[in-house]
Structure 1
Amino acid sequence: MMFPPISFLTATVTALFVIAALAAPNDTSLAVKPWEISGVGTHSPSGYPANAPYSTLFVSISDPNHIVLGSTRFGDAAFPPSSVNCTVRWLGALENPYGWVNTCTDINHGKWTVEILPGVVTTSGPQSYSSPTTNFVLRFTLSEAVVLMTGTIYERFVGTAAFAVGDNMSGSCGGSGVCNWGLKETVVRPVLVNQTLVETRCLFGSCE
């Protein structure tokens, strides 16, 4: 009977160890579910006397994933699912909210933020100009950290979603100039946001 050479066996065993390492629980490059936006809305004020001159954006987003990064004698070290509400308020005629980093409601294991970015501009219609209430992109960041047996690991995920009146938003403006916009009734909910892991850092100790 012919046996494979030792070098072949060594290479095979090494490859198996590499595959096992890539599939380890603390590898968050494994497939994750997209984030889920359940609602988004904007408000523009009328500008009438005795009215507040603030514009507002509101969005609700969830992370459905339970990401296990390691095991400890107290249980799994993991990033659990989370759901938050995010609100951005600015003086409609005086402030430009693009690029502001706005903290969403609290979660125990990390922090959500949202930024309003300029929307995708087309040649005509309501998308022919960018607006933080009618044509904009939202950039979400989820930063999370958890203590392992030998160290603390930190990870940061980022995802974006575009919204525009005439595309996936609708609403109306009153005679006073006040406007309210939200997701179209025909838009499939939740709106999915494909997130990307952009940073992994061992804050201290060993996170292997």
Structure 2
Amino acid sequence: MHLTTILLSVLPFTILAAPSLLPWKITALSTFTPSGRSGNPPYSSLTVTITDPNTIPLGKTHYSSETSFPPSNATCTTKWNSYISESPFDKNIPCQSDNFNAGRWSVVMQKGNGTGDGPSATRDFRLRFELEESMMLNEGIVRKTFVGTAGFVLVTPPQITPEYNPDLLALFYLNPPPPLPTSPLHTAPPPYSPPASYTPQLHP
């Protein structure tokens, strides 16, 4: 049995976004691999929590001065039976949110290759998040879909330095999703060294 929680190496990627939007943030991520012993379930799993800090104004209504898409967070969980070669990739996974006013979150796990050893659903993968926001506005409805994608490599054994900030696990911007990163990690992975800080760059 192997459980990995919030120990990530974030792959570099291009960020494309409007400067007025704050980045989405992965606040927790864990994967589980079964032991394979008799009497134990054969399911692998992934659980991830994402936060959108943005408040997006929509306009005035008949009953209030202003309405908006509020900040939100969601937790996404998926299980798959790896012992019968069930694949978790490219499946739409609905997520659950504690915020009643939040939109509908979903995530799709995609194949990654950040280590150069090929994709792994519990160690080397990409996540594509989608947030559908809808709000009644007077006689109509406003709806918008946002998308963000990032790649993850889970480190074994975990390496944490005093300078490493676990709150900076992954930052990425909204729509459109960045392309699959090209990185030296794909061919010759260097020894893992957690970043002291992460400063996202905006590109027009």
TM-score by length of 2: 0.68
Distance across 2 between alignment mates of 1:120 and 1:33:
27
Deviations 1:38-78 (A, max 9, x none): 11111111111110100011111000001111111322221
Higher helix share: 1
Match of 1:101 in 2: 92
Match of 1:189 in 2: 167
Structure 1 pair 184–44 and aligned structure 2 pair: CA distance change class (3 A): farther
Match of 2:140 in 1: 151
SS in 1 for 2:109: strand
**C-alpha displacement of 1:31:** 1.4
Match of 1:46 in 2: 35
Deviations 1:76-111 (A, max 9, x none): 221100111111111122210111110111343420
Pair 1:69-2:58 in alignment: yes
Runs ≥4 in structure 1, deviation > 4 angstroms? 182-185
Match of 2:79 in 1: 89
Deviations 1:112-158 (A, max 9, x none): 0011000035xxxx442111111100000000100112310110000
Pair 1:35-2:24 in alignment: yes
Distance across 2 between alignment mates of 1:84 and 1:141:
11
Structure 1 pair 131–58 and aligned structure 2 pair: CA distance change class (3 A): same
Q: Would you say the 8 A contact 1:90–1:96 is kept in 2?
A: yes
Match of 1:175 in 2: none
Match of 1:141 in 2: 130
Structure 1 portions without partners, runs of 5+ = 1-28, 173-181, 199-208
Letter in 2 for 1:104: C
Count of residue correspondences: 154
Letter in 1 for 2:69: F
Distance across 2 between alignment mates of 1:196 and 1:111:
16
Deviations 1:159-200 (A, max 9, x none): 011001xxxx2245xxxxxxxxx89663652321211169xx
Distance across 2 between alignment mates of 1:101 and 1:63:
19
Distance across 2 between alignment mates of 1:197 and 1:143:
14
Structure 1 pair 197–157 and aligned structure 2 pair: CA distance change class (3 A): farther
Match of 1:120 in 2: 113
Distance across 2 between alignment mates of 1:78 and 1:150:
16
Structure 2 portions without partners, runs of 5+ = 1-17, 178-204
Match of 1:10 in 2: none
Structure 1 pair 151–141 and aligned structure 2 pair: CA distance change class (3 A): same
SS in 1 for 2:89: coil
SS in 1 for 2:60: strand
Higher RCO structure (Cα 8 Å, ≥6 apart): 2
